[in-house]
Chain A
Amino acid sequence: MSDHPTTPETGDAALTGALNSSFRVLRWLMALVAGFYIFSGVFNVHQGERAYVLVFGKIAGLAGERLLEPGLHWTWPRPIAEIVRIPTERVQTVDSGTFWYREENQSSGTLRPGTDGYTLTGDANLIHSKWAIRYSVIDPEIVKFRLADLESILQRELDHAVLQCTARRAVDQALRTEIESLRSAVDATLRQRAEALALGIRIDRVDVLALAPPRQVTAAFASVIESEQDRSSKISAARAAAARSLNEAAGEAARVKSEGETYKRQIVSEVSASADYFTKVYEQYQKNPDIIARTLLQDTLHRVLTGVDQKFLIHRNASGQQQLRLLINPEPQPLVQPAKP
């Protein structure tokens, strides 16, 4: 119990004071909410992304300035404005395994539609392949607001291009001899199509990740490669033998010509020496032919017989006849080995 009873005047004053306080609090609260609302429009665009601001559903900003760069920005908070973030990795990738077989289905002798993927080549053979596209977004507005699922479109367009280009090539061209040509054809077809459909992207490159014949005929394809290797090795061996033969022939030809040259030099030199010798001997011979001739003969016999192994002299026989036999450079007789006991 209070010692001083409360009067109506003092009660009104207390209520007024309380209301004033409440209004002050409410005013501050409203200002705070308004401030917080305004401040909540601040947002950050991170590295690796860009952003659009939609004000009442429409992209804000002038053409060319709509895409916000990384940094701090402000816009009206919801429900007036909405921020739409767009990843802008420089190069993005889409893979396609539509034409690859199911690994678990290895033992089957057939290809099951819808499970095992493949393409038909121009000569009605079947091949498997895996592909990838690397692309960059050049118009995020199209990608974000005009297309529901860019990757889905790109995957189908890639398959479409692969199908078209493979259908124009023979199996050997597609699998072995013209892989790069096939890749560049798919690349060109896809670029053309992306431009025609205005997808807002730039195709950087199309890659072939894998190419293979169906596993059911892998051995037959390997056999062709083996036989091709066999053909190459036979041709290489023949070329090597031919080169060796021609080199030997060139050497032999050089030897034959060299011998001819040697003969020429030798014969000229020998005859020239003989002529000189003759000229010199002739001068002396004219003075005393008999002595010169006999001296020359005896000197020659002396030199010759010095080196001869066996010399036989035959004296004239009673009938006055004599025989002269010469054995020149006899072949050596083989040695007779003594018989073993």
Chain B
Amino acid sequence: MKRNTLLLIAGGVVAALFILLQVLFTVREGEAVAVTTFGKPVSALTNAGLYVRAPWPVQRIYRFDNRVHTLEGAFEETLTRDGKNILVAVYAGWRIEKPIQFLERIGTVEQAERNLDALLRSQKNAVLGQVPFSALVNTNTAEVKFEQVEQQMLAAVQPEAVNRYGVTVQFLGIRKIGLPESITEKVFARMKAEREEIAERYRSEGEGEAIKIRAAADSQRNQLLAQAEAEAKHIRAEGDAKAAESYQVFEKNPELAMFLRKLEVLEGTLKKKSTVVLSTETEPFDLLQGDKALPKK
């Protein structure tokens, strides 16, 4: 009896597991599931968890990666409003919004990217055809309309992507802007010419600036020296004025003062390597005249 019970339990567990595996299924985090009944989509599941279904062949489940995927469009030529031929590559982040619609219209991620690429391309050309080249590339930042251009593209792509393919384009951006290969050669020629002009300007600026600096220095130097000369003259004048105060004493006997001054000048003037010619009448050489030089009694 005991044996039979054990066998029944074991058999029941195996049968229950088999049935559960047929009717239960999980939706994993980051997954979306579309359920079909006899091939007709009946429900979409985007929340993770355990679900029940009718066993195959009644119901079938289709799993999709519901995370955000990135798609990069082709780097290809397009025309701006002012007729500039440029190459632009746009990328987008997208995820499955409506699993049933996605299953019916697209089926796979690869197919979805092919369809979205075509959609991006047409909207990119349409939007860029309405803006000038200067709205994308400009040193005047106020004129750059990068964000607006991307917003316009996104606004144009989003409804069509949802309605047509069941996917939502969450973000979009311009990744590359380029020029056709033949144009790059002309750009280089212009860049070289610009560089030469700048180089020449720098050289002449250097010379001009150096001249200015030297001229300013000369002017400052002359001013400094002139000021010093003036101050020195003033100082000398002060000295002369002060010395003049001492001259008053000479007024007691101007003749004696001049005599003493002459002696001083004579002594200061006749230095070495001088030749002096004197008369024998000059004292004390008058002694050489003999008796005439003797003192009178």
Closest to A30 in B: B10
Distance of A298 Cα from B199 Cα, bound (Å): 83
Distance of A139 Cα from B118 Cα, bound (Å): 33
Q: Is B65 an interface residue (CB 8 A)?
A: yes
- Among A54, A149, A224, A282, the residue within 8 A (CB) of B28 is A54
Distance of A122 Cα from B204 Cα, bound (Å): 27
A184 to chain B, nearest CB (A): 15
Residue numbers in A under 8 Å from B239 (CB-CB)? 260, 263-268
Q: In the complex, which range does the number of interface residues on chain A fall in? A: 35 or more
Q: Is A114 an interface residue (CB 8 A)?
A: yes
Known: A58-B29, A197-B93. A278 touches B275 (CB 8 A): no
Closest to B193 in A: A220
Interface residues of B in 180-210 (CB under 8 A from A): 180-182, 184-185, 187-188, 191-192, 194-196, 198-200, 202-203, 205-207, 209-210
Q: Is B155 an interface residue (CB 8 A)?
A: no
Distance of A196 Cα from B246 Cα, bound (Å): 95
Q: Is B16 an interface residue (CB 8 A)?
A: no
Known: A54-B29, A156-B72, A275-B250. A264 touches B242 (CB 8 A): yes
A200 to chain B, nearest CB (A): 11
The answer to whether A217 touches B216, judged by C-beta atoms less than 8 angstroms apart, is no
Residue numbers in B under 8 Å from A27 (CB-CB)? 6
Distance of A263 Cα from B241 Cα, bound (Å): 12
Residue numbers in B under 8 Å from A326 (CB-CB)? 270, 274-277
Distance of A291 Cα from B70 Cα, bound (Å): 127
Binds B, one of A69-77, A85-93, A204-212, A310-318: A310-318
Chain B contact residue count (CB 8 A cutoff): 119
Interface residues of A in 224-241 (CB under 8 A from B): 224, 226-228, 230-235, 237-239, 241
Dominant secondary structure at the A interface:
helix
Known: A57-B28, A148-B65, A156-B175. A253 touches B225 (CB 8 A): yes
Residue numbers in B under 8 Å from A169 (CB-CB)? 139
- Among B65, B174, B242, the residue within 8 A (CB) of A268 is B242
Binds A, one of B34-42, B100-108, B160-168, B252-260: B252-260
Q: Is A330 an interface residue (CB 8 A)?
A: yes
Known: A163-B175, A246-B221. A122 touches B139 (CB 8 A): yes
Distance of A271 Cα from B50 Cα, bound (Å): 123
The answer to whether A148 touches B225, judged by C-beta atoms less than 8 angstroms apart, is no
Q: Is B266 an interface residue (CB 8 A)?
A: yes
The answer to whether B195 touches A221, judged by C-beta atoms less than 8 angstroms apart, is yes
Distance of A308 Cα from B267 Cα, bound (Å): 11
The answer to whether A279 touches B256, judged by C-beta atoms less than 8 angstroms apart, is no
A268 to chain B, nearest CB (A): 5
- Listed from nearest, the 7 A-B pairs whose CB atoms lie closest are A264-B239, A260-B232, A231-B206, A253-B228, A242-B217, A238-B210, A122-B139
Chain A residues in the interface with B (C-beta under 8 A): 19, 23, 27, 30, 52, 54, 56-59, 82, 98, 109-114, 117-126, 144-149, 152-153, 156-157, 159-160, 163-164, 167-172, 197, 213-214, 216-217, 220-221, 223-224, 226-228, 230-235, 237-239, 241-243, 245-246, 248-250, 252-254, 256-257, 259-261, 263-268, 270-272, 274-275, 277-279, 281-282, 285, 289, 293-294, 296-298, 300-301, 303-305, 307-316, 322-330, 332
Known: A126-B184, A264-B238, A270-B243. 7 other contacts (CB 8 A): A58-B49, A113-B178, A126-B188, A224-B198, A235-B209, A249-B221, A322-B281
What are 26 residue pairs bridging A and B, where the CB atoms are less than 8 Å apart in the complex? Answer: A56-B50, A111-B178, A120-B179, A126-B191, A146-B30, A147-B67, A160-B175, A168-B141, A172-B198, A227-B206, A231-B209, A241-B214, A242-B213, A249-B225, A260-B236, A263-B235, A263-B239, A267-B240, A267-B243, A277-B260, A296-B259, A300-B267, A307-B274, A308-B272, A308-B276, A309-B274
